[in-house]
């Protein structure tokens, strides 16, 4: 495509969370980046990080001399655009309507999917996406910690839970109606060509349709807009089901981790690929040792966190017993 400007010819590697729910990844931060690269027809390898389920640096894209992390420059897609690696938005990014719709998706619909995954459900989907490869106690504690963090982020407490739930679903309904009207019978939202808006919404829609349970309120509200559902299924069939060969199939099926070209700022070790059967090098032994230390320290940190939380009397989110993590759906 004319919109794709590649300063570097090195092959890109996209590191995401693992595939599940018939999707290449069901992580709300990862899937839009995967779809964005697919829309751009950029060849890339897809690898999966199973070691750091709560790292805010995932997803990230790297090559021999370039890396773009999720927690820098507004996310991976924005980094790829700003650094002139892959830009699908050059002709629309200054349009007020385009900017406002992207902002709506990144706020109202982002809040809605967060709420559904961590608060408005039994947590089964979130566990499968993030923690199913961890030992049960660690995965459960990390899940409870993330539930608490999401409630704080969304401003949910025992007193505000009902009002915030109503507001989140009301905004999601308005967003779906506006997007349905904008899309109409077209294949894309602007100029009949893909932009990052399509990638961001398509990632949201596919996770809502395929990863959330059938009883999900958000899923039911999306199903009320048939053209959005058709749009999501059409692009899933074209990009993800039959188009999986455009990224390296040998690596896209891997459950290993890619190695970033510069180390994560908040971790003591780097994710590494699983080697073929052979004697481990000293570097690999050190990595496995550090991974074990990571799991132990995470368990200790979460236990300390929960003990402090249980003894706090002035936190905004109620922390008295199990009510902190169980609200009516």
Between strands 44-48 and 12-16, the pairing is parallel
Q: How far apart are CA 294 and CA 178, in angstroms?
A: 45
Residue 213 has pLDDT above 80, yes or no: yes
Segment (H or E) for 60? strand 60-62
Query: For residue 84, what are its two tokens?
Result: 């002139």
Q: Which pLDDT band holds residue 54 (cuts at 50, 70, 90)? A: confident
Q: What is the pLDDT of residue 294?
A: 61
CA–CA–CA angle 253, 268, 143 (5° rounding): 65
Nearest to 17 by CA among 134, 100, 107: 134
Q: Which pLDDT band holds residue 289 (cuts at 50, 70, 90)? A: low
Residue 132 has pLDDT above 60, yes or no: yes
- The larger pLDDT score, comparing residue 318 to residue 27, is at 27
Residue 220 has pLDDT above 70, yes or no: yes
Q: How far apart are CA 112 and CA 169, in angstroms?
A: 7
Query: pTM, whole model, 2 decimals?
Result: 0.76
Residue 244 has pLDDT above 60, yes or no: no
Q: What is the pLDDT of residue 104?
A: 98
Q: What is the pLDDT of residue 38?
A: 97
Q: What is the pLDDT of residue 282?
A: 57
Nearest to 39 by CA among 189, 184, 183, 178: 189
Tell me the mean pLDDT in the region 310-327: 44
For the chain, what percent of residues have pLDDT higher than 90?
A: 65
Query: For residue 63, what are its two tokens?
Result: 């090559």
Q: What is the DSSP letter of 117?
A: H
Q: What is the pLDDT of residues 69-103, one digit of tens each?
A: 999 999 999 999 999 999 999 999 999 999 999 99
Structural domain boundaries in the chain: 12-271+282-324
Q: What is the pLDDT of residue 286?
A: 57
Q: How far apart are CA 207 and CA 113, in angstroms?
A: 9
Q: What is the pLDDT of residue 270?
A: 38
Q: Which pLDDT band holds residue 307 (cuts at 50, 70, 90)? A: low
Q: What is the DSSP letter of 246?
A: G
Burial status of residue 118 (CB atoms within 10 A of its CB: 0-12, 13-18, 19 or more) = buried
Nearest to 83 by CA among 12, 2, 196, 7: 7
Q: What is the pLDDT of residues 29-43, one digit of tens each?
A: 999 999 999 999 999
């Amino acid at each position: 495509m004319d919109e794709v400007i590649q300063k570097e010819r090195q092959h890109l590697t996209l590191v995401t969370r693992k595939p599940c729910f018939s999707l290449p990844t069901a992580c709300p931060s990862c899937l839009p980046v995967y779809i964005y690269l697919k829309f751009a027809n950029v060849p890339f390898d897809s690898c999966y990080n199973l070691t750091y389920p709560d790292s805010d640096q995932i997803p990230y894209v790297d090559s021999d001399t370039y890396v773009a992390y999720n927690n820098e420059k507004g996310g991976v897609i924005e980094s790829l655009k700003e650094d002139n690696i892959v830009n699908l938005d050059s002709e629309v990014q200054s349009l007020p309507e385009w900017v406002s719709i992207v902002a709506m998706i990144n706020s109202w619909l982002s809040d809605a999917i967060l709420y559904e995954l961590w608060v408005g459900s039994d947590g089964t989907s979130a566990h499968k996406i993030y923690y199913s490869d961890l030992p049960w106690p660690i995965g459960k504690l990390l899940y409870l910690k993330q539930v608490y963090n999401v409630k704080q982020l969304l401003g949910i407490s025992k007193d505000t839970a009902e009002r915030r739930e109503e507001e989140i679903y009301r905004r999601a309904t308005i967003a779906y109606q506006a997007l349905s009207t904008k899309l109409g019978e077209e294949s894309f939202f602007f100029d009949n060509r893909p932009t990052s808006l399509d990638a961001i919404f398509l990632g949201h829609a596919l996770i809502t349709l395929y990863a959330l349970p059938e009883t999900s309120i958000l899923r039911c509200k999306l199903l009320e807009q048939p053209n959005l559902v058709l749009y999501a299924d059409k692009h899933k069939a074209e990009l993800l089901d039959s188009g999986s060969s455009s990224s390296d199939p040998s690596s896209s099926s891997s459950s290993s981790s890619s190695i970033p070209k510069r180390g994560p700022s908040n971790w003591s070790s780097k994710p590494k690929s699983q080697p073929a059967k052979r004697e481990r090098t000293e570097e690999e032994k050190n990595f496995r040792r550090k991974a074990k230390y990571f799991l132990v320290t995470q368990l200790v940190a979460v236990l300390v966190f929960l003990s402090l939380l249980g003894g706090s009397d002035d936190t905004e989110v109620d922390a008295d017993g199990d009510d902190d993590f169980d609200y009516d759906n």
